[in-house]
Amino acid sequence: MQRVGVWVEGLVQGVGFRPFVYTLAHSHGIDGFVRNTPEGVYMEIEGSKDTIEAFIKDFYHKLPPLARVDSFKKTLLKPLNKKGFVIEHSDYGGSKHSAILPDMAVCDDCLAEMKDPANRRYKYPFTNCTNCGPRYSIIKTVPYDRPNTSMDIFKMCPQCQAEYEDPSNRRYHAQPISCPNCGPRLALRRLKDGKVLERDEASIKALANKIKEGAIVAMKGLGGFHLICDALNPKAIQTLRERKNRPTKPFAVLCKDEDMACKYGIFSEAEKKMLTAITKPIVLVYKNPKNPMPKEIAPHTDRLGLFLPYTPLHVTLFEYLDGPIIATSANRSGEPIIYNAKTLIEKLFNVVDYMLDFDREIINASDDSVVQLIDKKPLYLRLSRGLSPFTLPLKSAPNQTVLAVGAEQKNALAILHEKRIIQSPYIGDMHTIEGFEFFTRTLESLKSFYNINPQKIICDKHPQYHTTQWAKSQNLPIEFVQHHHAHICATMLEHNLKGPVLGVAWDGTGYGDDGTIWGGEFLYCEGGKYERVGFFEPFKLVGGEVAIKEIWRVAYSILRDVMGDNVDDLAQFEPFKKRLSLVKKAHSNSINSPLCSSVGRIFDAVAFLSTGLSSVSYDGESGLLIEQLYDKTLEDTYEFSMENGVIKYKEQLMCACVDKPEFIITKFINGLVSCIIKLAKIYNVPVVVGGGVFQNKTLLNRLYVELQKESIPLFFPEKIPPNDGGIAFGQLAKYVLTQ
């Protein structure tokens, strides 16, 4: 006989792990116990050597669907000869590093109960079990037990209590367990006077009627409020745009089911699988021209962001709706998602007509995740609800607690703790008070979960980033990581690469080692070191931040470098004739015109020259516009030259003044790909890409295909966003790779 103590770490709390172990132990005749701990799960198993080996083999093959084992450590103990196997109460002692599970979409078993009129949870909008439902959004600290969640105020009825205490029930220790007799309550309010119009199921039906009538409504979800309107009502969509001051940025569309989504978008089998996964992200796909949605949903692009209901409340709403709805984050432009009714009323009283709220508090807000596929592989544009907090165990890492604070835009935090990286959900931009409050609140939550205080902080080199300034004020050792190196290190660590690799880091802006704006970088990377071996010839960003919005300025600046005063005579700049003298003066005298090598900004210039788009209202708008005009059948390319590592492209862009739009865009993207391949052949190492420019699916797909032809390995982020949402992870990756 043997008795073995087992420490299990990973995603092992809130996923039905203990009842799984309990059931498995009974099936093998194993004695002992299992319990939650702050580190994960601890169990002691006793039986014959053969029985224990069979138990462990089955353990790995039959894990619960949401569980993930990162560490399985055994130690031999003295047999106790104590019969039976039990689930013990949680142990609250010791250090905290059990992984926090993201919120999960409602599972098929719970959906089946919702559709069964004989079931007591028929149409119940808060049903859940150990395989689904809220986690991160309701947790205050670990272990993940009901007293540590926002469900602690709801006393379970006898029926729920019985399910909660029954190890054979799939709701055993499902912390948000509830039913119509003991769970959260719904209320539909009119915003202008706060009057409650309906409660509970009647409020859902009333909300659906308001949507059909063309109203703009807000509905509370897992991690915050959605702004919702009828996706087939152009007038309602335009009203939402005007009220939200969102002129062209695409809206995400929520569909009842897979069939409805496939009516409006073109899905591959891999994209369908992603659409219906338990994480339920927004999936970017091509629009279906046979069933076009109103152009107001996603102007300037041939893509749609479609997703499926992920809470029982969303599912119930569609019982009373026939078509898709817009479901976009409830926030003011540039601010984080709103997650409580008080803030919604204060900030969006002039946007929202009606609000559907419930009395379960959201402790930790999170936005919807966004993904697109590259050759069946995920490329996440936003990592949040359903996917983060994201935890990556490391084989080798310093035994320190280190905080990485990320960048200024699309911010997310990351912490190195107990030889694993914990990535926070998407936070957003740091230039608003609300954004920075969200940053500090998310940090405090992570510190509370793991009872930690960082020993060191890593930040970006940009001296004006709010995150950098905050890091400098913390009286802790601080390390600065160059922005584009962080992009490449993130991809390297994710794919367990130590180099050498050719890192291609292209984005909108990033502070360079020489104090200029980088963004078109080729970095030869090995371990945590890099050498800048190539970059796009800099141009003057005339007007600084203004030129990021008024993108005609970028084209004017680049062309002035090669055409001189003749650029003033180009027809493209005729609408700006009265402003050219000031722009010319700023360019000539380098007034508020920092040097910039950004490929993202060059994309802006190409978009203006090919389509006439002179200004953008959101990041990446020019790239989306360009993509829909790309011609896959053309092999033509702009041949960019290179002198001493400097990519020369400005004279080629002169052709963009006379070529047809499709030719300009296709030749430009093909030219970028050709440029990467040339350098990859010179250095003869794998290519690693990062940065927001590689959100451009057309560019990345083309690069993927062409590098395959050359038998050159390509690695891009598949777990972490390529944009600045992955910078904090990359900052820690650089630190780990340097050790």
pLDDT per residue as tens digits for the range 326-369: 999 999 888 899 999 999 999 999 999 999 999 999 999 999 99
pLDDT at residue 95, rounded to an integer: 56
Mean pLDDT across 82-100: 75
Secondary structure (DSSP) of 171-203: TTT-TT---TTTS--EEEEETTT--EEEEHHHH
Query: 0.85 cut: is pTM over it?
Result: yes
Lowest mean pLDDT among 261-270, 516-525, 638-647: 638-647
DSSP state of 149: B
Residue 144 has pLDDT above 60, yes or no: yes
Confidence band of 98 (pLDDT split at 50, 70, 90): low
Task: Measure the CA–CA gap between 609 and 364, rounded to whole angstroms.
Answer: 44
Peptide bond into 389 cis (omega under 30): yes
With a cut of 60, say whether residue 404 has pLDDT above it.
yes
Mean pLDDT of 507-533: 96
Q: What is the mean pLDDT of residues 282-309?
A: 96
Q: Print burial letters for 143-162: b (CB count within 10 Å at least 16), e (below 16).
A: bbbbebbbbeebebbeebee
pLDDT at 364: 95
For residues 624 and 606, give the distance between their C-alpha atoms in angstroms, rounded to a whole number.
12
Q: Spell out the domains of the chain, with CATH numbers in brackets.
A: 2-87 (3.30.70.100), 186-358 (3.90.870.10), 389-481 (3.30.420.360), 534-715 (3.30.420.40)
Q: How confident is the model at residue 372 (pLDDT cuts 50, 70, 90)?
A: very high
245 Rama class: left (phi>0) / alpha (psi -120 to 50) / beta: left
Counting residues of the chain whose pLDDT is more than 70, the rounded percentage is 99
Averaged pLDDT, 405-427? 95
Put the strands of the sheet holding 420-423 in their side by side order.
390-393, 420-423, 414-416, 402-404, 456-460, 478-481
> Across residues 208-232, what is the average pLDDT?
97
Read off the pLDDT of residues 296-313 as tens digits, 9 standing for 90 and up.
999 989 999 999 999 999
The mean per-residue pLDDT over the stretch 480-500 comes to 97
Q: Which residue has the tokens 């279906």?
A: 288
Q: Which of 180-189, 332-341, 629-638 has the highest mean pLDDT?
A: 180-189
Q: Which pLDDT band, with edges at 50, 70 and 90, does 97 fall under?
A: low
The whole-chain average pLDDT of the chain stands at 94
Place 201 in a pLDDT band, splitting at 50, 70 and 90. very high
Mean pLDDT of 229-251: 96
pLDDT value, residue 675: 96
**What pLDDT does residue 96 have?**
57
- Lowest-pLDDT range, 388-397, 495-504, 550-559, 566-575? 388-397
C-alpha 378/C-alpha 390 separation (Å) is 15
Q: What is the pLDDT of residue 94?
A: 58
Q: How far apart are CA 452 and CA 471, in angstroms?
A: 17
CA-CA-CA-CA dihedral for 185, 188, 194, 197, to nearest 10: -110
pLDDT digits (tens, 9 = 90+) for 559-606: 999 999 999 999 999 999 999 999 999 999 999 999 999 999 999 999
Q: In whole angstroms, how far apart are CA 243 and each of 217, 246, 247, 256, 454?
A: 12, 8, 10, 26, 42
User: 622 pLDDT band (50/70/90 cuts)?
Assistant: very high
Question: What's the token pair of residue 608?
Answer: 């203006």
pLDDT category of residue 89 using cuts at 50, 70 and 90: confident
What average pLDDT does this structure show over 182-186?
Answer: 97
Q: What is the pLDDT of residue 141?
A: 82
Whole-number pLDDT of residue 418: 87
The 10s digit of each residue's pLDDT in 21-44 is: 999 999 999 999 999 887 789 999
If you average pLDDT over residues 60-69, what whole number do you get?
87
Encode burial over 484-510: b for 16+ CB neighbours within 10 A, e otherwise.
bbbbbbbbbbbbebebbbbbbbbbbbb
pLDDT digits (tens, 9 = 90+) for 676-690: 999 999 999 999 999
Confidence class of residue 91 from pLDDT cuts 50, 70 and 90? low
Average pLDDT (379-399) is: 92
Q: Residue 6's pLDDT band (boundaries 50, 70, 90)?
A: very high
For position 93, what pLDDT does the model report?
60
Question: Are 138 and 445 spatial neighbours (Cβ–Cβ below 8 Å)?
Answer: no
pLDDT at 63 over 70: yes
Q: For residue 478, what pLDDT is reported?
A: 98
689-719: pLDDT as tens digits: 999 999 999 999 999 999 999 999 999 999 9
